[in-house]
Each structure stands twice: as structure tokens, then as C-alpha cells.
Copies of this chain bind each other. A is one copy, B any other.
């Protein structure tokens, strides 16, 4: 059956960190995905009416922070109130990397420090494409040398039902589970 075309795939929830007029600001964003393999780049679709684009354009940097489900209230708060009217600089403990203008969130288990590479203007949103110049993780989420996603405990957002979800159960190995369908000649 046909449904409304304003459909959203399940989206990882991230907090975008920027310096706006010198002050750290954080915005909850669901339209974020990897964009380029090498060098690693990430793309974030942000509504043009938001405050965060101002910070990205001022500093040409931003951060992508992955909150765990423990931070659900704070994460949702950063999506409800705008930095235009509300100072969100004290919501989290902030740290900086070598770019110096991409505020990152100590409470988030993973942080990506990004340099703006390209902006793609669209009718109501803009894609901000950043190169990941450094990545940080809480030591508690590292297993066998890699960040472990059940330990990161990220949030997913679905729309238009507007609900947050945790990551579920392990379902299979990628580039592996489908091998048995490969026809042998």
C-alpha cells in the first residue's frame, strides 16, 4: 500500500558540537551518515533555520558525539531548545582536540572531530560534509582494541512515530552471512 512519502529510515542519534560566537553549543541530529571512505568523511543534514549552521560556518569545524542511552534526557533536551535562546554550554563537560574549535562531549562514549569540507545546499536543509580528523572513545567501551557498540549503547530515532530505541540483538556478521547464497560454478 502507498504511505506518506515523508518516511524516515531508523537513524543513529548524534549530538553536533559547534562554537557559536565563541560559546559551545550542542544540537541533536538524526540525519547523519558516513559519506566518504578515504579520507573518512561524515555528512549531516541540518535544517537551515537552526543555530548550529552559524557555528559550523564561523569555524569550519564541528564535532559528532555519540550519546549512550543513559544520556537520553540531555540528548532530547538539546533537540528541543535552540542555542539562539538557550545557553547549552553547561549541559556537558566539554573538551577540545587539535582543531581547537570543535567542542566535544566528555560524557559521550565516542567523539568525532571534523573539519568542514563541503556544504550542499538543499531546499530546506544543508548537508555539512566534514572530514573526521580525529576520533576519541571512552576506554570503557573498548574491547579487543575496538569500540564495542553494545558498550557504547547508542540511541536510534524513528520517525514519524518520534521514538528513541536502543541497539538490539546481534543478528549476524556482515560480508559473511550471505556467503552461502553464492552459487558455486
Interface residues of chain A, those whose CB is within 8 Å of chain B, are: 1-12, 14, 30-43, 45, 47, 64, 66, 69, 72-81, 91, 110, 112, 118, 120, 122-125, 127, 129, 132-139, 142, 146-149, 154-182
Q: How far is the CA of A142 from the CA of B2 in the complex (A)?
A: 11
Nearest-CB residue, chain B, relative to A182: B81
Do B81 and A10 touch across chains, with their CB atoms under 8 A apart? no
CB-nearest residue of chain B relative to A117? B122
Do B10 and A134 touch across chains, with their CB atoms under 8 A apart? no
Contact of A76 among B80, B163, B174 (CB under 8 A): B174
Q: With a CB–CB cut-off of 8 A, which chain B residues contact A10?
A: 12, 149, 154, 156, 167
Known: A81-B182, A177-B73, A178-B79. A33 touches B43 (CB 8 A): yes
15 interchain pairs, CB-CB under 8 A: A3-B110, A4-B135, A5-B40, A6-B132, A6-B135, A7-B110, A10-B154, A30-B34, A43-B127, A72-B177, A81-B182, A149-B163, A163-B172, A165-B169, A168-B169
Q: Tell which of B127, B135, B155 touches A120, judged by Cβ atoms closer than 8 Å.
A: B127
Task: Report Cα–Cα, A164/B30, bound state, in Å.
Answer: 20
Instruction: Say yes or no: B182 contacts A9, CB within 8 Å.
Output: no
Residues in chain B near residue A171, CB distance under 8 A? 69, 72, 155, 163-166
Distance in Å: Cβ of A143 to nearest Cβ of chain B:
9
Is there an interface contact between B172 and A169, defined as CB atoms closer than 8 Å? no
Would you call B31 and A31 a contact (CB within 8 A)?
no
Identify which of B31, B33, B123, B132 contacts A7 (C-beta below 8 A): B132
